[in-house]
Amino acid sequence: QVQLVESGGGLVQAGGSLNLSCAASGSTFSIFNMGWYRQAPGKQRELVAVSGSSGTTDYADSVKGRFTISRDNAKNTVYLQMNSLESEDTAVYYCYIHYFSNWKWADYWGQGTQVTVSS
């Protein structure tokens, strides 16, 4: 069974930084995409950043130049360095993996970590 453990959320002032991390463990699997989504109150969940197994990355336009996603494949861990945070970045951030196990593809989400940016 897959488990995702997220950490690094919290309260920060506008212009500050936070670093989120998410470690995957559990069943034998091959992880392909690892990424982060977020959901603000009253809004739909949206993609923030994703990292492919080949090293490719993609970002939401709203975070380009401010957020950086990285991963450590040996540790099955993905990170999100968030700089120049804005009040609009306030949301619950969810870790996400797309993986292959037991001859099938699957997706798994973490429980979320709150990020609050005060203006």
Q: Model confidence over 13-26: pLDDT tens digits?
A: 999 999 999 999 98
Helix (H, G, I), strand (E, B) or coil at 28: coil
Contact indicator for 18, 10 with CB cutoff of 8 Å? yes
Q: Model confidence over 28-60: pLDDT tens digits?
A: 789 999 999 999 999 999 999 999 988 899 999
Q: What is the DSSP letter of 53?
A: T
Using the Cα atoms of residue 73, residue 74, residue 79 and residue 81 in order, give the sign of their dihedral: negative
pLDDT, position 87:
96
Q: Mark residue 20 as left, alpha or beta (left: phi above 0; alpha: psi -120 to 50; beta: remaining).
A: beta
Calpha distance 89→101 (Å, rounded): 33
pLDDT, position 28:
77
Calpha distance 119→105 (Å, rounded): 41
